[in-house]
Amino acid sequence: MAKQMTSKRPRDAKKTLRRLARYLGGHKAALALVAVMVVMSGLANVVGTYLLKPVINEFIVPGDIPGLARAVAAMAVMYAVGALCTLGYNQLMVRTAQKIIAQIRGDLFARTQKLPLAYFDARTHGELMSSFTNDVDTVTEALNNSFTLLIQSFVVVTGTIVMLIVLDARLSAIVIAFLAAMLAFILYNGRRGRKFYAQQQKYLASLNGFVEEMVAGQKVEKVFNHEQTDFEEFCRRNEALREAGTKAAGYAGMMVPTVVSLSYVNYAVSACVGGLFVLIGLTDIGSLSSYLVFVRQSAMPLNQLTQQANFLMSALSGAERIFAMMDEEPEVDEGDVTLVRVREGSDGTMTEAPEYTGRFAWKCPGESGPTLVPLRGDVRFHDVVFGYTPGKKILDGVSLYAKPGQEIAFVGSTGAGKTTIINLITRFYEIQGGSITYDGIDLRRIRKDDLRRSLSVVVQDTHLFTGTILENIRYGRLTATDDDVRAAARLANADSFIRRLPDGYDTMISGDGDNLSQGQR
């Protein structure tokens, strides 16, 4: 099962962004407030640093103590506002991000409930789970940090560049050239790094798949003394991942030192040229010194900016996969026949009843008002044609019928299509030819939920959910009382073994009922 390669780039960034924006849209006010506070906090930081020099030169050096007091007080106010803004935007952003993410997760889950069975059968659990874990995670990370950091570094980068141009337009040409070179390097490195990253993801998926399968099948492994062989295979994959991971991390780690070194060269060149400018009288030493301070500061925010952009990119591709899953065709349900509770009058006519009567009927809307057809359980197949994959027919022209109350046993050697027939009656899958009727009504006219509610299907794969035994039995009817459950258990001959479990009815069943035997389920 080759796990789908997780690409880091979204295919259609704009479309995904629009979609994501719709989720963000519900929190417009909060996000706007966050943006404002980010800008204010960033400005307080930059302006505060910038003001240090004038404060020293104008108040401290001349010895103007009251002036210094005023300046310090003014700066204190500004700093306080800045720090409060930092506090505010961080808190607000975290809360908003978690709200949005919970909403996305909920929507994704609700959508999986509506997808047709064929969708699940065609994909591995790992693939589907990965949307809930990895993809949602990257979006969370991006919302938590990237949004604010991106605004902040953008403010700082533009602010610094503007400052440089203001201080010395000619010298700033050097800096801008270097910044452009750094940007080019970062982009180039990012593109090349993706190859290594993809390699690492491939080996990671291969190792995870192996671990998942072996841990799940561990009991069989033990029975066959197969540990040694599996361990060797594990070590092989583990080693492959280690090598790929080392390459990827080594490559990614080059980014920061390279940018830092480039910024030092930039610093050196600016200083030399600036020095020459001073010598030929184009500028003075004081201006050069403060100019150089800004040159030194210019590289880091650029680095941060691109790093956040990368995070955002992978978050977008995660969001794209999430949205793709949300956009899957849901199970279509064009049925208009519903199941209703009825009461039978003395003359044999039925009327709809609001309360539980123990009697049910199909309500079929017609031109002359709805008609009620009693639920009897008469299922007929007429020349049904079906296959799971196109071109490979499992059923070809099958006709059969089950009269109400009849128990039909499907006999056939294993793999002859018994489960398939059940899959068709419940409409887990759609037939490709012929028709199926239920109490004389075409199956396709009946609403799926009502159809399934009327059939009690014991599915071939029995599955239990985590929770106590009591809760699991109650899955059949959620309103059952504890006593009802016990009665049901006695009917199914399960009461005695349940009472011998460590905690009786309150025993926790975990992981698909690993601790129960097949019959006990």
In whole angstroms, give the CA distance from residue 470 to residue 473.
6
**Segment lying near another protein (by CB under 8 A), choices 156-164, 252-260, 370-378, 383-391:** 252-260
* Residue 278, helix vs strand vs coil: helix
Q: Does the protein bind another protein through residue 175 (CB under 8 A)? A: no
What is the maximal distance between C-alpha atoms in the chain?
116
C-alpha–C-alpha distance, residues 374 and 344, integer Å = 10
For position 146 contacting another protein by CB under 8 A, the verdict is no
State which of residues 21, 173, 216, 400 lies at the interface with another protein (CB under 8 A). 216
Q: Residue 8 and residue 176: Cα distance in Å, rounded?
A: 29
Q: How far is the CB of 13 from another protein (least distance, A)?
A: 26
How many residues of this chain interact with another protein, rule: CB under 8 A? 155
| Strand ranges inside 273-369, DSSP E | 338-344, 350-352, 360-364
Give one DSSP letter per residue of 191-215, joined into a string. HHHHHHHHHHHHHHHHHHHHHHHHH
Segment contacting another protein by CB under 8 A, of 271-279, 356-364, 365-373, 436-444: 271-279
* CB closer to another protein, 149 vs 350: 149
Looking only at residues 72 through 131 of this chain, which bind another protein when binding is defined by CB under 8 A? Answer: 72, 75-76, 79-80, 82-84, 86-87, 90-91, 93-95, 97-99, 101-102, 105-106, 109-110, 112-114, 117, 120, 124-125, 128-129
Report if residue 4 touches another protein, rule: CB under 8 A: no
| Cα(479)–Cα(483) distance, integer angstroms | 11
| Contacts (CB under 8 A) with another protein, residues 473-502 | 475-476, 478, 493-494, 496-500, 502
Q: Residue 190's closest CA among 260, 138, 254, 146?
A: 254
Residues 285, 348, 368, 483: which binds another protein (CB under 8 A)?
285
Indicate the DSSP class of residue 329: P
Closest to another protein by CB, 124 or 304: 124
Contacting residue, 220, 324, 332, 400, with another protein by CB under 8 A: 220
Stretch that binds another protein, among 15-23, 55-63, 341-349, 382-390 (CB under 8 A): 55-63
Residue 258 found at the interface with another protein (CB under 8 A)? yes
Q: How far apart are CA 78 and CA 74, in angstroms?
A: 6
Residue 408: partners with Cβ closer than 8 Å, 6 or more residues away: 400, 402
Among 4, 351, 432, 515, binds another protein (CB under 8 A): 515
With 0-12 / 13-18 / 19 or more C-beta atoms within 10 angstroms meaning exposed / middle / buried, residue 392 is: exposed
The candidate with the shortest Cα–Cα distance to 304, out of 183, 194, 189, 184, is 183
Whichever of 350 and 489 has its CB closer to another protein, that residue is: 489
The nearest distance, CB 235 to another protein, in angstroms, is: 6
- Cα separations (Å) of 376 from 361, 362, 371, 440? 8, 10, 15, 10
Name every residue whose Cβ is closer than 8 Å to that of residue 240 and which is 6 or more positions away in sequence.
Answer: 203, 206, 207
Measured from the CB of residue 12, what is the shortest distance to another protein in angstroms?
26
Residue 264 engages another protein in binding (rule: CB under 8 A): yes
- Could you tell me the two tokens for 171? 């010298």
Q: Which of residues 357-396 bind another protein (CB under 8 A)?
A: none
Identity of the residue, 346 or 414, whose beta carbon is nearer to another protein in the bound complex: 414
Q: Choose which of 346, 368, 389, 413 interacts with another protein (CB under 8 A).
A: 413
Taking CB under 8 A as the binding criterion, the range among 161-169, 171-179, 216-224, 311-319 that sits at the site for another protein is 216-224
Residues 231-250 that bind another protein (CB under 8 A): 231, 234-235, 238-239, 241-243, 245-250
DSSP letter string over 51-76? HHHHHIIIIITTT-HHHHHHHHHHHH
AA letter at 121: D
72 vs 371, beta carbon nearer another protein: 72
Q: Quick check: 61 binds another protein (CB under 8 A)?
A: yes
Q: Any contact of residue 187 with another protein (CB under 8 A)?
A: no
Choices 285-293, 319-327, 361-369, 382-390; region in contact with another protein by CB under 8 A:
285-293
Which residues, 155 to 174, sit near another protein by CB under 8 A?
none
Among 63, 348, 366, 405, binds another protein (CB under 8 A): 63
How would you write 405-453 as a 3-class SS string? CCCCCCCCCCCCCHHHHHHHHCCCCCCCEEEEEECCEEHHHECHHHHHH
Q: Which is nearer to another protein, 100 or 312 (by Cβ)? A: 100
Q: SS3 for 398? A: strand
By CB under 8 A, the residues from 295 to 354 that bind another protein are: none
